[in-house]
């Protein structure tokens, strides 16, 4: 499962980057990372991943704005996006859902949960 599939992790917290990279790489995923909101769309266009893991709070541009952009572009409109947020407020979840998130997960999360969700998203 996940063999040769690519995940783009757009996240700026080093400990989360390491944890997610570890759990997914071990499962056979190719994990690319990007940490700046301003250039996230360019990173997506360059890599065209199978799944995106997107942090809600990024330097220079929010994950909500990036998600909205992804959904507006024809080539990324259907790309599975797992959004991570440290804030579990209902309004954040609503914003993510309005912007077209595939799945929403609050931090802290378990590694197993991330792996299971990424597998499910890539399977469609």
73-97 pLDDT per residue, tens: 999 999 999 999 987 788 999 999 9
What was the pLDDT predicted at 42? 97
What was the pLDDT predicted at 33? 97
Render pLDDT for 5-39 as a digit per residue (tens, 0 to 9): 999 999 999 999 999 999 999 999 999 999 999 99
Q: Check pLDDT > 80 for residue 59.
A: yes
Q: Check pLDDT > 60 for residue 2.
A: no
- Give how far the C-alpha of residue 13 lies from the chain's centroid of Cα atoms, to the nearest Å: 13
Q: How many domains does the chain have?
A: 1
CATH of residue 88's domain is: 3.40.50.2300
Buried b (16+ CB within 10 A) or exposed e, 97-122: eebebbbbbeeeeeeeebbebbbebb
* CA distance between the termini of the chain: 13
| Distances in whole angstroms, Cα of residue 84 to Cα of each of 56, 74, 75, 107, 108 | 6, 23, 22, 7, 9
Residue 44 domain-assigned? yes
Render pLDDT for 91-108 as a digit per residue (tens, 0 to 9): 999 999 999 999 999 988
Q: Check pLDDT > 50 for residue 1.
A: no
Residue 88 domain-assigned? yes
- The parent domain of residue 20 ranges over 6-123
Residue 1 domain-assigned? no
Residue 22 domain-assigned? yes
- Give how far the C-alpha of residue 82 lies from the chain's centroid of Cα atoms, to the nearest Å: 4
């Amino acid at each position: 499962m996940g063999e040769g599939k690519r995940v783009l992790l757009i996240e700026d917290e080093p400990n989360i980057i390491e944890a997610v990279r570890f759990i997914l790489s071990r499962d056979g995923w190719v994990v690319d990372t990007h940490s700046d909101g301003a250039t996230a769309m360019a990173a997506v266009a360059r890599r065209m991943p199978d799944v995106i893991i997107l942090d809600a709070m990024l330097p220079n541009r929010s994950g909500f704005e990036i998600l909205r952009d992804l959904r507006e572009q024809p080539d990324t409109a259907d790309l599975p996006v797992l959004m991570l947020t440290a804030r579990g407020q209902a309004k954040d979840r609503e914003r993510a859902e309005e912007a077209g998130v595939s799945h929403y997960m609050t931090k802290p999360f378990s590694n197993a949960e991330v792996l299971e969700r990424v597998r499910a998203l890539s399977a469609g």
